[in-house]
A and B are shown apart, each in its own frame.
Chain A
Amino acid sequence: MRYETERTRRRGHADTATDTLARGLGIFSIALGIAEVVAPRALARALGMKGQEGLIAGYGVREIATGIGILASKDPTPWIWGRVAGDGLDLATLATALEGRNPKKGNVGIAMAAVAGVTALDVYCAQTLSRESPTPLPPMQDYSDRTGYPGGIEQSHGAAKDFEVPRDFRAPEAMRPYTQPQAPQRPTPSM
């Protein structure tokens, strides 16, 4: 995702630990989203939020989209910030379930604590990724002289043509070009 390509080199240093965290959050996002899309009724029942099944499924679609964005993008930073915003929305929605006589307030509390924990991870990840961007990478190593051919490439190209490929390593005869002397000379079949 953020190895030292020309593109990442321009945008900043690749910190693979944060990258791994971002990928983990992406996968978590997809898994949670699938659960919300597949079982909104069960979730609504568990949280005492009957009648909000459509909203939960909608949040699931949002989670899946965000997860795909994190895993697919070359720079996941904006998508992780998107997750932070989504966490705020989730907390606000859950808070509404604490009002009134909801018999499942205990479950809602647990859910809010879990979301708060994930929010902390999201904020940490997003901040770390954002901080990295302005840090320049060290200069690229120059390996343009690492040919491996002491006498130059012209001299080495085809230098091993004397090598006889062992029989058990040769391509099947039927796959060899017809132009080769050892290949069967057959006429082109007419249709």
Chain B
Amino acid sequence: MKALVWHGTTDIRCDSVPDPQIEHPRDAIIKVTSCAICGSDLHLYDHFMPGMKSGDIMGHETMGEVVEVGAESKGKLKVGDRVVIPFTIICGECEQCKRGNFSVCERTNRNGHIAAKAFGHTTAGLFGYTHLTGGYAGGQAEYLRVPFADATHIKVPSTLSDEQLLFLSDIFPTGWQAAVQCDIEPTDTVAIWGAGPVGQMAIRSAILLGAKQVIAIDRVPERLDMARAGGAITINFDEESVIERLNELTNGKGPEKCIDSVGMEAHAAGTVDAMYDRVKQATMMETDRPHVLREMAYVCRPAGTLSVPGVYGGLLDKIPFGAIMNKGLTIRTGQTHVNRWTDDLLRRIEEGQIDPSFVITHTVGLEEGPDMYKIFRDKQDGCIKVVLKP
């Protein structure tokens, strides 16, 4: 089959690889009908996340049709079922899964001992996202083996299109969880750093949850345009001061809720801390560039909440914990517990409250995937979200 394969920094190719096989009775194989490139795939593309090996298949936003089912999954899945595959692989049986904390499933990361060394404890296995999270083959391919398939799937109806459903795999529940972590009140201003795909979903989620005011911060005109279409006030951080503008929009009090949908590769040319991060990262003395976290901690209203869906990988420097502690800020973070939200979100799509397909800007074949990685990374051609059709 064809698949997008990681070979090294900024080197992703569309290769021919062996078809996946059932390896365990809980597995299933799906024929991929649509998959997408996620912003967090770019951390792998640029090789900021450790633990990739040449030959790894990329992708964790995938949907398709079940073509083969292992013996132990047959009660839950059958050939022909249409499914969206959550990016987190879940067993559905461990203590964390039973609590709904699916992204920290205790069983599905087959390299859990490595994750435990890095993070203290294991986290869930993920599709196509380094050997720290299991080294599972990803879904930017013609076929995907789904481990623990009896739990790791979302059945979807045939009445909706792939484009409406695909993002249940990651970015829609991720944006939603980011907003839910804010526990939004009708009087709240929610400021969202980063108007990429997750930021766009967070904007819409905050609107759905009834925030009084939503503010989006980015510098790419098309992303700001799309953010405004979703109901956000926008700040171009290249052209105005984020701190001043946020204070102006909140009568000097700062936003109650702040969402970081940027993560480890923040761009903030011209600020002292951004230059500091660049130099430290270039000299291997810091893994992540946490400009957004610093800015959020500084501008957030006392007793407010910082919600962090953006991906961070390692060690962060100069975090103003004095501001966080003295202002009594609450920090909520985490990979997304996808299956915890998807029943509710699927209902909202069916009821027409939201149509996540708005975010798609490019739809191409798998062969064009490597080029699209570069276009997406460089934010060229108005690229916000790429869907691949194997």
Binding site for B on A (CB under 8 A): 1, 3-7, 9, 14, 16, 23-24, 27, 30-31, 68, 71-74, 138, 140-151, 153, 155-161, 163, 165-166, 168-172, 175-177, 180
Beta-carbon nearest neighbor of A155 in chain B: B353
State A147–B221 Cα separation when bound (angstroms). Answer: 16
Query: What A residues does B210 contact at CB under 8 A?
Result: 157-158, 160-161
| Interface residue? B381 (CB, 8 A) | yes
Chain B, residue nearest A177 (CB):
B185
Query: Per-position contact with A for B271-286: 1 when CB-CB < 8 Å, else 0?
Result: 0000100110011000
Distance in Å: Cβ of B185 to nearest Cβ of chain A:
7
In chain A, what residue has the closest Cβ to B352? A150
Partner of B187, one of A5, A72, A140, A177: A177
Say if the beta carbon of B303 comes within 8 Å of chain A.
yes
In contact, A169 and B354 (Cβ under 8 angstroms): no
What's the minimum C-beta distance from A158 to chain B, rounded to whole angstroms?
4
Contact: B183 with A4, CB < 8 Å?
A: no
- A71:B269 contact, CB within 8 angstroms: yes
Given A27-B282, A159-B353, A177-B185, do A143 and B332 touch, yes or no (CB 8 Å)? no
* Contact in complex: A156, B354 (CB < 8 Å): yes
A138 to chain B, nearest CB (A): 7
Give bound CA distance, A90 to B248, whole Å: 48
Taking a contact as CB atoms under 8 Å apart, the answer to whether A141 and B382 are in contact is yes
**Interchain CB contact under 8 A, B278 and A160:** no
Known: A156-B353, A157-B208. 19 other contacts (CB 8 A): A3-B238, A3-B378, A4-B221, A5-B238, A23-B278, A27-B283, A144-B229, A146-B226, A146-B358, A147-B358, A148-B230, A149-B354, A150-B354, A156-B354, A158-B209, A163-B180, A163-B344, A168-B100, A171-B305
A-B contact pairs, 26 of them (CB 8 A): A3-B219, A4-B220, A4-B221, A7-B238, A16-B378, A68-B275, A72-B275, A140-B225, A140-B382, A141-B222, A143-B222, A146-B358, A146-B359, A148-B200, A148-B230, A148-B354, A150-B354, A155-B353, A156-B207, A156-B353, A157-B207, A160-B208, A163-B209, A166-B100, A169-B181, A180-B185
Determine whether B253 belongs to the interface, using a CB cutoff of 8 Å to chain A.
no
Option from A72, A74, A157, A161 in Cβ contact (under 8 Å) with B231: A157
CA distance A14 to B340 in the complex (A): 41
**What does the 1/0 interface line of B345-356 toward A look like (CB < 8 Å)?**
000100011111
- Closest 10 pairs (CB-CB, A-B): A141-B382, A158-B210, A148-B358, A160-B208, A143-B226, A171-B183, A146-B358, A150-B352, A143-B225, A159-B353
- CA A81 – CA B328 in complex, angstroms? 48
Looking at A24, A143, A172, A176, the one whose CB has the most chain B CB atoms below 10 A away is A143
Please count the residue pairs between chain A and chain B whose beta carbons lie under 8 angstroms apart in the complex: 159
Question: B-side binding surface: helix, strand, loop or mixed?
Answer: loop
Which among B183, B207, B236, B269 is the interface contact of A6 at CB below 8 angstroms? B236
B275 touches A71 (CB 8 A): yes
Cα(A153)–Cα(B230), bound, Å: 7
When each residue 318-357 of chain B gets 1 if its CB lies under 8 Å from chain A and 0 otherwise, what string results? 0000000000101010000000100010001000111110
A177 to chain B, nearest CB (A): 7
Contact A72 B269 (CB under 8 A): yes
Please tell me if the beta carbons of B355 and A150 are within 8 angstroms of each other in the complex: yes
Q: How far is the CB of A131 from chain B (nearest CB, A)?
A: 18
At the interface, yes or no: B21 with Cβ under 8 Å from chain A? no
Complex CA gap A52/B159 in Å reads 79
In the complex formed, the residue of A with least CB distance to B208 is A160
Query: B183 touching A165 by the CB < 8 A rule?
Result: yes
Report whether B229 and A147 are in contact in the complex, using a CB–CB cutoff of 8 Å: yes
Q: Does B228 count as interface, using CB distance less than 8 angstroms?
A: yes
- Docked pose: A47 CA to B71 CA in angstroms: 75
Q: CB-nearest residue of chain A relative to B225?
A: A143
CB distance from B375 to the nearest CB of A (A): 11
Q: How far in angstroms is the closest Cβ of chain B from A109? A: 28
B377 CB contacts on chain A under 8 angstroms: 16
* CB closest chain-B residue, reference A76: B269
* Residues of chain A lying within 8 A (CB to CB) of residue B267: 1, 3
Per-residue CB proximity of B175-194 to A under 8 Å, as 1/0? 00000110101110000000
Cα distance, A157 to B231, chains bound together (Å): 9
- The reply to whether A7 and B222 form a contact with Cβ atoms under 8 Å apart is no
Provided the pairs A156-B354, A158-B208, A169-B332 are in contact, do residues A4 and B231 lie with their beta carbons within 8 angstroms?
no
Contact with A along B97-139 (1 / 0, CB 8 A): 0011000000000000000000000000000000000000000
Are B270's CB and A72's CB within 8 A?
yes
* B30 CB to nearest chain A CB (Å): 27
| Alpha-carbon separation in the docked complex, A68 to B271 (Å) | 10
The residues of A that contact B230 with a CB separation of less than 8 Å are 146-149, 153
Is B54 among interface residues, defined by CB-CB distance under 8 A? Answer: no
- Assess whether B53 is interfacial by the CB under 8 Å rule: no
Chain B residues whose C-beta falls within 8 Å of the C-beta of A9 in the assembled complex: 221
**Interchain nearest-CB distance for A182 vs B (Å):** 12
Q: In the complex, how many angstroms separate the beta carbon of A69 from the nearest chain B beta carbon?
A: 11
Give the most central of B220, B225, B236: most A CB within 10 Å.
Answer: B225
